[in-house]
Structure 1
Amino acid sequence: MELSSRHIELLIAVDRDGSEPMRAQLERQLRDSVRSGSLRPGAELPSTRDLAQHLGISRPLVMEAYAQLAAEGYLALRQGAVPRVADTAPRLERREFPPELFTTAIYRYDFRPGIPDLSTFPSRLWLKAVDAALKTMTSSNFGYAQRFGVWPLRQALADYLGRVRGVSADPRQILVTGGFEQARGFLARALRRRGVTQLAVEEPGYASYDAWLEAGLSLIPIPVDEDGIDVAALSRSAAQAVLLTPAHQSPTGVVLSGARRLALTSWLRSHNAIAIEDDYDGEFRYDRAPVGALQGLAPDVVVYAGTASKTLAPALRLGWLVAPADLLPGLERELLLMDYGRSRIDQFALAHFIASGDYGRHLRRMRGVYRDRREALLAAISAELPEGEVSGISAGLHATVRFRRRLNEAAIRESAIKRDIGVAFMRRLYLGVAPEASTLLLSYANMPEAVLRTAFRTLVGLLDT
């Protein structure tokens, strides 16, 4: 006897006046749906009773059709169970998409930068924030309004960023985005519409610049040294805008010095240029004084970008831009062309999370967690890899380890993958010619200390591969 504990809808119909018998119609439509992939292996089907009632035909007719399709291998029927499409059902040839289009490689031991500890997401507190958000939202808040960000979140961000990051912002200048990945797409288009064609970027810098290139911008790599981006080299270039990470340079970890910050703001104003400041890992610092955002020095020529991806989780897909007033209309235009904005419920929840103080308390707790893991990594490097020169550790979530020699980086990555270890080198982050010596990037964010030490010991054994 079939279970029918819930109603399962199925897009199917029969023509009583057609020349084809109704049972044959039913079999053909189900067979075609399975072969085309509309009904996937394992998909549940209505019970014979429900389908007969839906189509207005006799149940024995449906039972006969199901039995025939089961005999052909299309359906899996079992007494007392919901009918399903058979796992081995015949299917038409379909295009197979590479799995990397849908997933990002996940390793048991992951030293690659950019991934926080996902296990520490404050689920209980977030549920409390969502509950508070739903209780305060009015019926109009569930509509299409506030496409640039809900007002409570923009107010909460203006207060928080001003207090903690030194950002100068009116809530009206804040745009809520789907993280920096989305933001740089419409930022690039807005800059291009403004007439910008030459974008300076840090060297080394990001792993991908596709969004900027797709918008028609040409990239000018500017070297980074121990004081951050070389502003003198920037001033000699033809750049009209610059993309940089001044609080904790990605990937070297250096901080843009005070002198260079002043020189950079002078260059921006004298050349009518724009800086895009990605506040990369700006909230995580350990043994140095806080470094404020560049935007606080020059809010009229700096676009500030931040996200909740590292502080909470990438899955939230929430970020923000603080834009100069003259650039705001162009950015708003691009956002209007793009979509209807981020989830209002999540935005109200984040606003409550920040305003309640839970966001700040979570950050303080995570600084302690990451500090302990950083110390464990440094001790492991000292004991297991004394030849490595460590830098970039005063803030952020990863360290850089420079060697005096060139390692076989491709072979090391391949061997590491076989041991379920994710590893990255700095070489791939250069647009031009990278230094001959290898530099290893080591995140300490998403592994407890004991696991980190074990994984690092295994990694060290692969470095002479």
Structure 2
Amino acid sequence: MSSRDAELLISVDRNGSESMQRQVERQLRDAIRGGTLRPGSEVPSTRDLARDLGISRPLVMEAYAQLAAEGYLALRQGAAPRVADTAPERQAYDLPPESFPTAIFRYDFRPGSPDLSTFPSARWLKAVEAALKAMTPDDFGYGQRYGVLLLRQALADYLGRVRGVSGDPRQILITSGFEQARASMARALKRRGVTQLAVEDPGYHDRDIWLAAGLRLIPIPVDENGIDVAALARSEAQAVLLTPAHQSPTGVVMSGARRLALASWLREKNAVALEDDYDAEFRYDRAPVGALQGLAPDNVVYAGTVSKTLAPALRLGWMVVPPDLLLMFEDELRLMDCGRGRIEQFALASFLTTGDYDRHLRKMRALYRDRREALLAVLGAELPEAEVGGISAGLHATVRFPRRLDEEAILESANKRGMGLSFLRRHYLGAAPDESTLLLSYASMPESALRTALRTLATIVDG
């Protein structure tokens, strides 16, 4: 940026008791001392500032010269004026740490993120260019608060074709990801009169949003067939949160019999299921399993995002909402914000309709399948006593040991070696089994790094 482009928040009062030169000096000096103008920052040229303030240039030159003499400005012939490097730095404050710090590990086995290095930047850039060409002036305004119609139509086609989701584009609400979706779910359930929410056990460990909405959480056991629907029916739950296609975090798939039983319970009780279809696109050695929503579209709120398929940074997700809940969910989203970024929505619509999304998924399926095979091979050789599960789909595996490990010591040792780990125990709301189970993501590391990290992990576990 040149000094001709630099703008500065300064004004002068022609009727003030202080001279205009002194006013300019004082405001610049205060801005530098206060840290709003940092060392090295460019300031407007004397000509530009004089023009912007409507005062004479010599007056500004005198002010700049005085500040340079005091050590606040650096003035050089032929160069743009800048704040001197020796000028005072911004005052440091004792601020609290961020609520959600992000630890950076050399080897990160913690589930939750895809391989961010594979984001299809070139294809996404083309989608953004196509979006900008297609958008009308009105599309840059405040309209389409609950989602761009073009994206909702593209998602209705895609979700129907790939996930068996039944819904009109009008039923699709665009969110900034699952966190916003579940916040609106929690508040909408409370408005509907729901007080008892069943959750899978083990399941999601972050439960604050549900509790903050005043919901009581009822843990329902999960076994090799998914959530125990018989136990759910015996409970006082009026709604249930679940991940039927690839249970989080065990990785099991809800059986057909359980799905039918759950759909029947939902209809009989007029209950609501909140289905998070978080990584169902990634399957390897099993046939695709459709969304639960297709069995009970009037009782299931279906949620998905691009956080696992493309990248969390896009902050794009969706909910397919039953017609009788639609206005309530729109109300909750309206209270949160004015909608999601529309340029990104048009870009995702283009990405879906051109087939780029399908092509990217095929590429990533092959990549993750190879990494999964590498994980199985190394674990089989290095930790033969462990039982590996949840690997028919998704981006992580469960590794169950026939004994209780010293989990805290393992986490500490792994942390010292730059390795992020997570155990299943923290995902239980009720009593956890005595044996230890590791959750190992194979998504974010190249195959060579994954093999190295797994061998290192084996030495840590063996002590």
- The normalised TM-score by structure 1 is 0.93
Provide structure 1 residue ranges, at least 5 long, that are not aligned to the other structure.
none
- State the SS of the aligned residue for 2:197: strand
Instruction: Between 16-25 and 442-451, report the one with greater CA deviation.
Output: 16-25
Q: Distance in 1 between matches of 2:125 and 2:198?
A: 42
- State the SS of the aligned residue for 1:129: helix
Preserved contact between residue 4 and residue 82 of structure 1 (Cα < 8 Å): no
- State the SS of the aligned residue for 1:463: helix
TM-superposed deviation, 1:94: 2.8
Residue of structure 2 equivalent to 1:196 = 194
Q: Distance in 2 between matches of 1:240 and 1:459?
A: 42
Q: Distance in 1 between matches of 2:434 and 2:45?
A: 67
Q: 1:463 to 1:238 in 2, by over 3 A?
A: same
TM-superposed deviation, 1:284: 0.4
> Kindly, what percent of the aligned residue pairs are identical?
70
The amino acid across from 1:168 in the alignment is S
Instruction: Between 158-167 and 79-88, report the one with greater CA deviation.
Output: 79-88
TM-superposed deviation, 1:47: 3.5
Instruction: Between 277-286 and 60-69, report the one with greater CA deviation.
Output: 60-69
Instruction: Between 179-188 and 12-21, report the one with greater CA deviation.
Output: 12-21
Residue of structure 1 equivalent to 2:171 = 173
Residue of structure 2 equivalent to 1:84 = 83
TM-superposed deviation, 1:432: 2.4
Residue of structure 2 equivalent to 1:44 = 42
Alignment partner for residue 424 of structure 2, among 415, 418, 426?
A: 426
> How does 1:118-197 map onto structure 2 within 5 Å?
118-197=116-195
Residue of structure 2 equivalent to 1:405 = 403
Q: 1:17 to 1:160 in 2, by over 3 A?
A: same
Q: Distance in 1 between matches of 2:295 and 2:86?
A: 61
Residue of structure 1 equivalent to 2:93 = 94
- The normalised TM-score by structure 2 is 0.93
The amino acid across from 2:96 in the alignment is F
- State the SS of the aligned residue for 2:323: coil
The amino acid across from 1:138 in the alignment is T
Residue of structure 2 equivalent to 1:215 = 213
Q: Distance in 2 between matches of 1:286 and 1:381?
A: 18
The amino acid across from 1:245 in the alignment is T
Provide structure 2 residue ranges, at least 5 long, that are not aligned to the other structure.
none
Residues 1:62 and 2:60 are matched in the alignment: no
Q: 1:87 to 1:410 in 2, by over 3 A?
A: farther
Preserved contact between residue 3 and residue 44 of structure 2 (Cα < 8 Å): no
Preserved contact between residue 21 and residue 63 of structure 2 (Cα < 8 Å): yes
TM-superposed deviation, 1:225: 0.7
Q: Distance in 2 between matches of 1:25 and 1:220?
A: 65
- State the SS of the aligned residue for 1:416: helix
- State the SS of the aligned residue for 1:15: coil
Q: Distance in 2 between matches of 1:4 and 1:284?
A: 49
Residue of structure 1 equivalent to 2:111 = 113
Preserved contact between residue 22 and residue 63 of structure 2 (Cα < 8 Å): no
Q: Distance in 1 between matches of 2:84 and 2:437?
A: 52
Residue of structure 2 equivalent to 1:368 = 366
Q: 1:351 to 1:251 in 2, by over 3 A?
A: same
Q: Distance in 1 between matches of 2:174 and 2:125?
A: 21
CA RMSD after TM alignment:
2.1
Residue of structure 2 equivalent to 1:266 = 264
The amino acid across from 1:205 in the alignment is G
Residue of structure 1 equivalent to 2:255 = 257
Q: 1:459 to 1:30 in 2, by over 3 A?
A: farther
Q: 1:250 to 1:7 in 2, by over 3 A?
A: same
Q: 1:453 to 1:41 in 2, by over 3 A?
A: farther
Deviation track 1:136-185 (CA, whole Å, cap 9, x = no partner) reads 22222111111111111111111111111111111111111111111111
Instruction: Between 253-262 and 210-219, report the one with greater CA deviation.
Output: 210-219
Q: 1:27 to 1:215 in 2, by over 3 A?
A: same
- State the SS of the aligned residue for 1:187: helix
The amino acid across from 1:173 in the alignment is Q
> How does 1:249-398 map onto structure 2 within 5 Å?
249-398=247-396
Preserved contact between residue 39 and residue 85 of structure 1 (Cα < 8 Å): no
Q: Distance in 1 between matches of 2:331 and 2:2?
A: 51
Q: 1:447 to 1:75 in 2, by over 3 A?
A: farther
TM-superposed deviation, 1:266: 1.1
Preserved contact between residue 10 and residue 45 of structure 1 (Cα < 8 Å): yes
- State the SS of the aligned residue for 1:304: strand
Preserved contact between residue 26 and residue 65 of structure 1 (Cα < 8 Å): no
Preserved contact between residue 47 and residue 83 of structure 1 (Cα < 8 Å): no
The amino acid across from 1:392 in the alignment is G
Q: Distance in 2 between matches of 1:184 and 1:159?
A: 23
TM-superposed deviation, 1:35: 4.0
Alignment partner for residue 10 of structure 1, among 8, 26, 33?
A: 8
Question: How many pairs were matched up?
Answer: 459
Preserved contact between residue 119 and residue 310 of structure 2 (Cα < 8 Å): yes
TM-superposed deviation, 1:128: 1.4
TM-superposed deviation, 1:65: 3.5
TM-superposed deviation, 1:196: 0.6
- State the SS of the aligned residue for 2:461: coil
